[in-house]
A and B are shown apart, each in its own frame.
Chain A
């Protein structure tokens, strides 16, 4: 086969590729109709998938380097211009536990609030909720888990006790017409307990949904899930919660995220969490990756002809910005392949 330098020289240039929108840019035309005999799981995909961008919170919280407030604000502002409709902005947790999010009030107050874009914030308890509202939050999130051990190690209480705390939040939120999103961590496995049974995930999800969370994001916190375990878990959860209220939050620690996300959307899930540049490592496997990269998810969805409303170029530019600021290499393969050509 040809040598590397000659191959590169004659390749289509990056600009040409983008201009032709060959791989990046507008979503592809919907695939042609299948032969009726071919009953593929791939049929029945949603026309539209909502991306929930968690980079500024989940991503930056799990980065080694602490990020200056101005940089966080700039990142969020850039993401706001990319067509994303939900950008998780920060976390109203005690700065004793999560120093990276200590500037939550300043971030919330200073970001540009684009019309049509939601900026949910984490609120682990009533105190955090009130601070968030005071700072101008108009949507909040609560974080449950399908594992008792994980809950104990993370927030020092049982699942049951955490549910009680969240109920205080959802009650206040309801009174103020503030939507609440519920997260369920360890949906496909726990760093302490190992395997998690789907029924447990369904049970916790149902509790969060019944207390008023409008959407439940099912998180593969340590990225150990595969399409097999994703399918089993979703089957159990979908018995309790309508699929339209479900989201998946896949970590790419074992390289399975996109395959798992594909499985979820084949089952009707229409909301996917991801982080620009794949920000956020895994606190449970040093040096390993965490969140799936928004760019890579978008690339896949575009190729499937699924509308997201998001401009991949602009997300890539935001990713480039934050990686430069963090002095780190992007975890997005799309960005790696594109910026190096």
Chain B
């Protein structure tokens, strides 16, 4: 249909700023942290070959993204999808101006990561005791002790560390999570030396209401400039939640190309919000991201073909009929 072919101009149009200054109190620019190659692929049913991962990361490096989470130095016993972490980190092209953080759950992982050339690492905390117990078999306090070992080593090696807090808007085991608990864990990780805290709605149950409540609590303890949001779209709320976070001053947002990564807690449901859909919204708001939407979509199409799955990005579905 003639009209359908005209969908692509919408992407170009969305790049033109709506006004010279961003609407209301929104940030003028947002840093996108692309988690597709790690968080995305880790939660996909199909495992992709190392070369495909490397190609994906290389394609993403060409889009203008400044942070691409490359892999995870976790034991392959627990996360077989990331068993090729060393090969991936050593095989990718390291573009100037682009950071390639990797997950390091403990000191051993950290050392392996640095040996493989990692220049930035991430650690994963949670605001839920039960979630921490089920996931890494210890309490929140014990997990923070493990992380402090990583922090010391990272500090000595001048390696920046990003901290993640999971279950900030709800937990699959505990249910509701108190905003004060999220603030407490975030504060601890920030005080330990994490330069940024990414607040994750791990099961996507949050709404703009709970996002606002949680951020209000966290912002009392951690400066908003050091905060990021990591929204899952399991209940379709991710972009609305992200919008509220932006309105409150957050300017770093995590997302995953093609919305890679399902939800381990709701079989068949979606997980990460799609970077393409996020970029579409941000550009439509006149917010600068530095990302080339066209190239991003191509990277998404590439990985979906390799995974033999349909994209979770609505922008791509509308534009390319994939």
List chain A positions with a Cβ less than 8 A from chain B.
Answer: 1-4, 6-8, 10-12, 17, 20, 22-23, 28, 31-32, 34-35, 38-42, 189, 191-192, 194-195, 223-229, 231-232, 252-256, 258-259, 261-263, 282, 284-289, 293, 296, 299-300, 302-305, 332-334, 336-338, 340-341
Q: Which parts of B1-47 form the interface with A (CB within 8 Å)? A: 1, 3-4, 6-7, 9-10, 13-14, 18-19, 23-25, 42
Of A3, A7, A299, the most chain B CB neighbours within 10 A belong to A7
- A3 to B265, alpha carbons, bound, how many Å? 10
**Structural contact, A304 and B207, CB atoms closer than 8 A:** yes
Count A/B pairs, Cβ under 8 Å: 209
Extra A-B contacts (11), CB below 8 Å, given A17-B175, A284-B1, A303-B210: A10-B173, A28-B209, A194-B6, A195-B13, A225-B284, A228-B285, A255-B314, A288-B317, A333-B235, A337-B235, A337-B269
Assuming the contacts A226-B14, A288-B318, A304-B207, asked whether A12 and B23 have C-beta atoms less than 8 A apart, the reply is no
29 contacts between A and B (CB under 8 A): A1-B79, A3-B78, A7-B134, A7-B264, A12-B173, A23-B235, A28-B209, A28-B210, A35-B216, A42-B244, A191-B3, A191-B6, A226-B281, A226-B284, A227-B23, A227-B284, A228-B284, A232-B18, A253-B314, A254-B280, A258-B240, A284-B7, A303-B210, A336-B266, A336-B268, A337-B269, A338-B266, A340-B269, A341-B267
**Structural contact, A259 and B239, CB atoms closer than 8 A:** yes
Name the one of B19, B236, B317 contacting A258, with C-beta atoms under 8 angstroms: B236
| Residues of the A chain whose Cβ atoms lie less than 8 Å from the Cβ of B4 | 284-286
Across the interface, name the chain A residue whose C-beta is closest to B203: A337
Q: Shortest CB–CB separation between residue B15 and chain A, in angstroms? A: 11
User: Interface range on chain B: under 10, 10 to 19, 20 to 34, or 35 or more?
Assistant: 35 or more
- A6 to B176, alpha carbons, bound, how many Å? 21
- A44 to B264, alpha carbons, bound, how many Å? 36
Name the one of A6, A10, A259, A296 contacting B235, with C-beta atoms under 8 angstroms: A296
**Structural contact, A1 and B318, CB atoms closer than 8 A:** no
Q: Is residue B315 contacting chain A, with contact meaning CB distance below 8 A?
A: yes
| Residues of the B chain whose Cβ atoms lie less than 8 Å from the Cβ of A232 | 18-19
- A289 to B74, alpha carbons, bound, how many Å? 38
| Residues of the B chain whose Cβ atoms lie less than 8 Å from the Cβ of A256 | 239, 277, 280-281, 284
Q: Is residue B48 contacting chain A, with contact meaning CB distance below 8 A?
A: no
**Structural contact, B268 and A22, CB atoms closer than 8 A:** no
**Structural contact, A31 and B134, CB atoms closer than 8 A:** no
Name the one of A8, A41, A258, A333 contacting B24, with C-beta atoms under 8 angstroms: A41
**Structural contact, A41 and B317, CB atoms closer than 8 A:** no
| Residues of the A chain whose Cβ atoms lie less than 8 Å from the Cβ of B270 | 333, 336
- A261 to B208, alpha carbons, bound, how many Å? 12
**Structural contact, B212 and A289, CB atoms closer than 8 A:** no
| Residues of the B chain whose Cβ atoms lie less than 8 Å from the Cβ of A258 | 236-237, 239-240
